[in-house]
Amino acid sequence: MIHTYTVTGMTCNGCKASVEKHLNALPNVINASVNLEKSEATVEMSHHISIETLKETLPGKFSISEKPIENVFSTSQVEETKSDLQQLKPLFIIFGYITVASVLLHYKQWDWNSFMLDFMGLFYVVFSFFKILDLKGFPESFKMYDPLAKAIPTYGKIYPFLELALGIMFLMRIQIPVALIVTIIILGITTVGVTKTLLDKKAIQCACLGTALKLPMTKATFIENTIMIVMAVIMLLKTYI
């Protein structure tokens, strides 16, 4: 069963992430998602949860109240009309720009190694930019699926700057082996969380582009991480073999 509620007191993406975290922590909640612009929370539950229970689980600054049932279906239907491709359009466009830019840097004197290093560098710099746009909201969204960010909240706060540093290292050719090893480790951890989320069929927001762009967690997120890991492994093997 799906119910939609009005939630007041939310002022930023950090608030949105906090409400989603507390609602998703409740027993019998399959998935809870929040629309910040509409001040709404859509909760899918296996068994009915009273409004009193929902109120108790949220921090005091937030207030939650029931909406008419007919709005639940209209909201659900609007979301279902959006295909995965439509929702992931910004991700594909950014990936396209990064690929084209990397090709243009080397099309006169093609070199696969340089192409991959610049691709990874641009990938990190661009993706860190979107994460840094909302440094308060990103950690909350990120720890919804990243195991390390969930266990160590500080990791989610420094992650955008870690990506930026790795991007600069690749572009400036600074300590490449170290950057490759760190890439395999951090993206490997994230990919484990993404895989578990996909297998559990949880509908949560992907934080790969921060919280500024609302992207669903899909196989595209898994593929995006896998491409970077494969590139890093190839480059590392070429370095030491």
Q: Is the dihedral of CA 21, 220, 230, 232 positive or negative?
A: negative
Structure tokens belonging to residue 180? 């490759």
Which pTM value belongs to this model? 0.65
Q: Please write the tens of the pLDDT for every residue from 136-195.
A: 888 888 888 899 999 999 999 999 999 999 999 999 999 999 999 999 999 999 999 988
Q: Residue 115 burial by CB count (10 A; 0-12/13-18/19+): exposed, middle or buried?
A: middle
Q: Where in the chain are the domains?
A: 2-81, 84-240
Cα angle, residue 193 at apex, residues 204 and 144 outer, rounded to 5°: 40
Give strand pairing partners of 35. Answer: 40
pLDDT band at 240 (very low <50, low <70, confident <90, very high): confident
Higher pLDDT: 229 or 48? It is 229
Mean pLDDT of the 65-80 span: 53
Q: Please write the tens of the pLDDT for every residue from 109-136.
A: 899 999 999 999 999 999 999 999 888 8
Higher pLDDT: 174 or 28? It is 174
Query: In this structure, which topology does domain 2-81 adopt according to CATH?
Result: Alpha-Beta Plaits (3.30.70)
